[in-house]
Amino acid sequence: MERIELYDIDLKNLRETSAVYNYRVGDEFFKLIEATGIEKGDLEVSVTVKKGIGAFKLNFHIQGFVIGICDRCLDEVEVDVDTDNVLNVKFGEEFSDDEEIVVVPEAEGKINVAWYIYEFAYLSLPYRIVHEEGECNEQMQEKLNDFMRYEGDNEANAEEAEDDEAGGADEIDPRWNALKKILNNN
């Protein structure tokens, strides 16, 4: 079982000007974090710590995949992750985490990077997660198509019904059929 302490980096006792920490995070890691955005995955994480004057620069390189939920069919989908991020850290009186710099209590001298690994992986995900074309759950796609309404559908259906009743069902221009196919693919 994973422990959160495995992701502690002791900045206070860092002897070299630069150090590299490597982690492999998987499903256990995401359970440990207890966040709802990512629950499964396999990531290789490299954290390079560079010691400066009064500050530290942590360079994160995260590569692998996570399992997300398809926005179209709600099935799981594998999403590639390849991201580089920087975290600036300095010592201070008490812990503070703002947008530009993280302040770590000097008495403690450690930073736990588990949440930052999760956060950087999550932020690298696309805004919209969907399967590749044709890989979505077919049953769900059929259900969605049954409920899809397009602007003007009610008016067009009413006109078609009137034409059918009058016996003059005219042929639809094939260009409209091609456009409907494009709408149905989204």
pLDDT along the chain (186 residues), means of 10: 83 88 93 86 95 91 93 88 94 80 88 93 91 81 74 55 53 77 69
Q: What is the pLDDT of residue 179?
A: 78
Q: What distance in Å separates the CA atoms of residue 92 and residue 49, rounded to the nearest whole number?
A: 18
Q: What is the pLDDT of residue 186?
A: 56
Beta carbons of 78 and 40 less than 8 angstroms apart: no
Q: What is the pLDDT of residue 79?
A: 92
Q: What is the pLDDT of residue 119?
A: 93
- In order of 20, 27, 60, 61, 63, the CA distances from 42 in angstroms are 20, 7, 16, 14, 9
Q: What distance in Å separates the CA atoms of residue 174 and residue 176, rounded to the nearest whole number?
A: 5
Q: What is the pLDDT of residue 39?
A: 86
pTM score, whole prediction: 0.73
